[in-house]
Amino acid sequence: MQLISNAVYKGYYLFKVYTSIIFLFIFEKNCILINRLLHTIVYFTLFGIFILCFCLQAYYLLGLQAKFCLHKIGESSQTNIQSVSVIICARNEAKNLEKNLSYILAQQYPSFEVIVVNDCSYDTTEDVLKTFVEQYPNLLKVVHISEHPRHKTSKKFAATLGIKASAHEILVFTDADCRPQSPQWLGKMVAHYHNPNIEIVLGFSPYEAKNGFLNKLIRYETCITAINYLACAIIGKAYMGIGRNLSYKKSVFFKGKGFASHMHIPSGDDDLFVNQHAKRHNVAIEYSADAQVLSQPKTSFTSLWKQKIRHLGAGQNYKRVDKQRLTLQFLSGCLFYVLAVLLLVLKFMFLWVIAILMLRYFLQLIIYQKGLVKLQSKNLLGWIIFTDPLYYATIFLWSVASLFTKKTTWK
């Protein structure tokens, strides 16, 4: 009996050992299977989001940006000549005024005035303007603003004084560091007012092409921004303009109480004003070569950073629908590149990811080729594969930084 008992005990012990081993083997195998299943689910989810981002980007390319790239400007016949006031706000811009103001004063338009607002300049701006006034006494008007010890003036304040000093209903704005590409600039911009419904005209101001990759990135960002806001204006959803080349009626300014609703924001004298007053049928666009205004680009990343931080602050105050559209376009572009890199590193659907990247690049080449030609920037086309991902990366960095940066002056 003792032997039987020992044999049963040993058998029972061996049974427990073997069942435990089998259980552990099955459990470990199940864990591996579950782990693989979870990895597969995560990978396919990432790939699915990547596809979604591609579809959104394709929609913005084909459904929005293509509107501008395929758009044709009709010939505007200016039967009734309307007087124009050109307004330039300048702070310590002596060199730029000396170089560019003569191009504005030499416009081949029969009835216009130029108003330069000297905003608390402490360089030789006043002397430069005195010289120009002597040469063009009936054409140039200067408004001087003195520095207040307790109050720093903004560009909006300077623009308001310029508007109040203007003698004409149609206003055209540019900057001291800008130069019209032709003597027909004013005529091209103002010609759209033959349509009585038009109250705002959006122009384009490219940056001068120079050597270096930073210049290409700046010019690419400027062109993509222009393609977006000009395309939205074409479909009746204008949301911004640029102060380097912008026109609107004085009556619109005073009817909307000027910049009162956003005077506390340092930037936005151009884009926020357009965002506030643009309607479906009161905005025209002008981007022909003769109507473009060439501007000087930043030459260092530090100066570019400061400029963009100031400008991006205004975007937070756009209308909700505009913010949602721009945010979706931007985030889908960012995620598209982030997920593409991640999926390539994980080697998941490797060939599919490469194919989708190339397909988006191909679509960009087709759409942007026409757009960049219109914007006199065709030489940027071959750089898209480098500038486009960096465009999204820099916009992301600027957007994050703008949330933590307080800007109180415009220069």
Check residue 261 and give its pLDDT: 80
User: Using an 8 Å Cβ cutoff, are 319 and 374 in contact?
Assistant: no
User: Six-digit token pair at 2?
Assistant: 């003792």
pLDDT digits (tens, 9 = 90+) for 301-330: 887 777 776 666 677 788 999 999 999 999
Instruction: Tell me how far apart the alpha carbons of residues 390 and 396 are, in angstroms, rounded to a whole number.
Output: 10
Query: What is the pTM for the complete model shown?
Result: 0.86
pLDDT at 7: 47
Distance CA 52, CA 335 (A): 10
pLDDT score of 311: 66
- Where residue 311 falls (left for φ over 0; alpha for ψ -120 to 50; beta otherwise) is alpha
- Which residues does 357 contact at the CB level (< 8 Å), separation at least 6? 340
Report how far residue 407's alpha carbon sits from residue 232's, in angstroms, rounded to the nearest whole number. 29
What span, in angstroms and rounded, lies between the C-alpha atoms of 57 and 406?
Answer: 32
* All residues at 6 or more sequence positions from 211 whose CB lies less than 8 Å from its CB, including other chains: none
User: Are the CB atoms for 258 and 213 separated by under 8 Å?
Assistant: no
Q: Are 189 and 286 in contact (CB under 8 A)?
A: yes
Residue 209 identity: A
Q: What is the pLDDT of residues 8-18, one digit of tens each?
A: 444 445 445 45
Q: Over the chain (411 residues), what is each successive 10-residue block's mean pLDDT?
A: 45 50 52 68 91 97 94 70 95 95 96 95 93 95 82 82 96 96 95 94 95 94 96 96 96 90 78 92 95 91 75 77 93 96 93 96 94 94 95 86 62 62
Count other Cβ atoms within 10 Å, centred on residue 228. Answer: 19
Q: What is the pLDDT of residue 24?
A: 47
Helices 384-402 & 301-315 angle (0-180, nearest 10): 60
Q: How far apart are CA 121 and CA 117, in angstroms?
A: 10
pLDDT, residue 270, reads 87
Gap between the Cα atoms of 309 and 402, Å rounded: 5
Structure-block tokens of residue 384: 């898209």
Query: Which of 71, 61, 65 shows the shortest CA–CA distance to 287?
Result: 71
pLDDT for 269? 83
Strands 140-145 and 246-249, by their bridges, are: unpaired
**How far apart (Å, rounded) are the C-alpha atoms in residues 262 and 98?**
32
Q: Where does 286-400 show beta strands of DSSP type E?
A: 293-295
Q: What is the DSSP letter of 297?
A: P
E strands, 12-150, are 84-90, 112-119, 140-145
Which pLDDT belongs to residue 13? 52
At residue 14, the pLDDT reads 47
Angle of CA points 111, 270, 251, to nearest 5°:
50
Domains of the chain listed by start with CATH number? 84-304 (3.90.550.10)
Cα 139 from Cα 88, distance rounded (Å): 14
- Quick one: 375 exposed, middle or buried, by C-beta within 10 A (0-12, 13-18, 19+)? buried
pLDDT of residue 34: 65
